[in-house]
A and B are shown apart, each in its own frame.
Chain A
Amino acid sequence: MLDDVTLQVPAGTVGLLGPNGAGKSTLIKCLLNLEKPSSGSARVLGTDIRSANRASREKVGYSPEKDSHLSDMLGCEYVTYCGQLSGMPFAAARQRTHEILDLVGMGSERYRKVETYSTGMRQRIKLAQALVHDPELIILDEPTNGLDPSGREHILELIGSLRRELGVSVVISSHLLRDIERVCDRVIIVSRGRVVEHASLAALKSRHENFVELTPSAQRQRFAPVLSAAGWNVTPLSNGKLRVKCHSTEGLLQLLAQHDLPPAEIVANPDALHEMFIQAVSAAHEQPA
């Protein structure tokens, strides 16, 4: 159930976050006219989804969360058919199909029937059918589910480059905050059918209390006393890292250099999105429905 949702999302890569049943998929389905809202209006790429039902999806690609395909079709046939259903002539659809299938990392599997694919292959073909008609916006619902680490890396890299290199806007619904943080420049957090947060990732992080995760390279036992003596708030973590509350990474680096303590790795606000997400969702749960 969605209630009182008012949003204007600029072009870019947008992450749609929320716990299970929060309304992420419903929001996506409403935008695609797959579900009819009881009231309200929406425009996708400037086109009203009610008055121009078909036209509002002409330049939109959608990769659903659930396994979706047409049976009895080879992978390349299926993607070409999807292109044609979006209004592409056969020759153009076939050409784009093979390019996209190369891009998502499908080799000779494209000549097999879709129902014989593994989960990872099905994710790739879902992405391919969403991209075949060269959309201006693609909506991806859990696009990395079921992918192995290298496959996930490949698909995330591809999603990132869609915006950078082709100017395609992307909306990703995912429960994997790391994925969202990696490829998105905006975040929408949905909880109990309402939008509880909508801001750029940079703005969200700047609102968050700053801290870093520091991985000592050597002389591990010296790091915490030195930092504490200098007035930094240090918390040792169970994985050997140190969580340091700081406003300036440069100041921290200077201090460590003075004491000849080179860090192996410093990650700023590693779980900022996670914490913001928990905060936003908790706040929404405290409010009356």
Chain B
Amino acid sequence: MNNPLDLSRWRERPLGLVYRIRIMIVAGLRRESQTRLFRWLLVLGWVGGFCLALAGYLFNRTLSEGGFAEQLSELFGIKGKAVFRIFEGFLALYPDVCIGGFFNLLFSNYSKAALLLSLLAITAMVPRLIAPDRASNGLTVYLSRPLTSTDYLLGKLGILTAVLGLLWTGPMIAGWLVSLALTPSLEAAAYSFAALKAALLFNGIALVSLSAIALGVSALSTKGRNTQIAWLALWLLPGILTVTAPHSVWLQRASFKRNLDQTRLGLFQSESVYTAVADKLALLNQDAKSALRTLGKDARAQDFRAALLSLTALSAASFLVLLRKLRTE
């Protein structure tokens, strides 16, 4: 309808909350994608996913009938074939240790690398999350619309989730699916699933806790640079201080990075892979077994529950900061 003000009217029913939050997420992602660092991190994330797919594919192809291992063993004559048969028997007896163990270590190390990538991405994102909205009274713009402060936070959380999903979850799932698609094997799918489940659980815990902490840090100041310094301090300082006071429990609890590492070790329980191989693989001599047990000890979580509790406490503290700071001026 035209009118003397030469203005069209919009009298439709407004689209719902999910749409509005999606708009916030898309706008946030668009802004992030304009930075070169984010594009580089995205490339690295998907290279990681490709590596995971390649490792899974090579592993499956190696152990499959007529696969790389069998072909290789033929090059070494009768001895080679014998060793291969032993491994084949071991695989038939303990597929959970062989296939499950391999994917456990693969996903555990992938998660470690993806966590580092995500921490870098968040370092770049923290100044752009809440601080600019506080500085330019953007909160008023959001909250004077049909949005509550919870909706606003969900939108911001959605941006972080989307970024971590693109850098971490997406490549990981895609890598696993591609590795299975290239060498279809029900066994591989079944025995790698436990490791994938642990990886997804760790991914979820990291996502929630990192998002909560990042949002809290971003709300601390109206200056982006200050929030970035605060984030880096929270990430790196406890680790640096632990060098001077290695037995300080408080410093260990205060470090979300250490807590996440402990959570990862606790969820994957990779020590059981090393000890199972050491105990069950008859071919290994005592030195090799001892080396595997040492590796297992290193891969054991020292305080899994305490790490989870500390992450919960840090997330709760961030939430309190958000409650205090998310007010219009």
Chain A residues packing against B (C-beta within 8 Å): 29, 32-35, 53-55, 57-58, 60, 62, 64, 66-72, 81-82, 84-89, 92, 95-96, 99-100, 102-103, 115, 129, 133-134, 158, 161-162, 165-166
Contacts and interface: CB of A to CB of B under 8 A. Distances in A.
Contact of A134 (B10, B140, B151): B10
Interface of B: 3-17, 19-20, 23-24, 27, 31, 128, 132-133, 135-138, 140-148, 151, 328-329
B7 A32 contact: no
Contacts of A68: 136-138, 140-141
B12 to A, nearest CB: 7
Contacts of B11: 134
Contacts of B14: 58, 86-88, 133
B328 A34 contact: yes
7 contacts: A68-B136, A85-B23, A87-B19, A88-B14, A95-B8, A134-B11, A158-B5
Closest 9 CB pairs of A and B: A87-B14, A68-B137, A62-B144, A54-B146, A134-B10, A87-B15, A71-B132, A84-B23, A70-B138
Nearest to A59: B14
B24 to A, nearest CB: 7
B8 A85 contact: no
Contacts of B17: 54
A96 B10 CA distance: 8
Contacts of A55: 146
A35 B144 CA distance: 11
**Max chain A Cβ within 10 angstroms of own Cβ: one of B12, B20, B141:** B141
B146 A82 contact: no
Given A165-B3, A166-B3, A70 B15 contact: no
Contacts of A134: 9-11
B7 A99 contact: yes
Contacts of B24: 85
Contacts of B329: 66
Given A95-B8, A133-B10, A69 B141 contact: yes
A67 B128 CA distance: 19
A124 to B, nearest CB: 15
A247 to B, nearest CB: 38
Contacts of A84: 19-20, 23
A58 B146 contact: yes
Given A57-B145, A68-B141, A115 B4 contact: no
A161 B4 contact: yes
A94 to B, nearest CB: 11
Contact of A81 (B7, B23, B132, B133): B23
A53 B31 CA distance: 29
A87 B141 contact: no
Contacts of A103: 5-7
A99 B8 contact: yes
Nearest to B139: A68
Given A86-B14, A87-B15, A96-B8, A69 B23 contact: no
A66 B135 CA distance: 11
A82 B11 CA distance: 16
A87 B5 contact: no
B146 A86 contact: yes
Given A66-B329, A166-B5, A34 B143 contact: yes
**Max chain A Cβ within 10 angstroms of own Cβ: one of B16, B132, B146:** B146
Contacts of A71: 132-133, 135-136, 138
A63 to B, nearest CB: 9
Contacts of B20: 84-87
A32 B273 CA distance: 58
Nearest to B26: A84
**Max chain B Cβ within 10 angstroms of own Cβ: one of A54, A60, A129:** A54
Given A95-B8, A103-B5, A165-B3, A57 B144 contact: yes
A126 B27 CA distance: 20
Given A34-B328, A87-B14, A92-B12, A66 B140 contact: yes
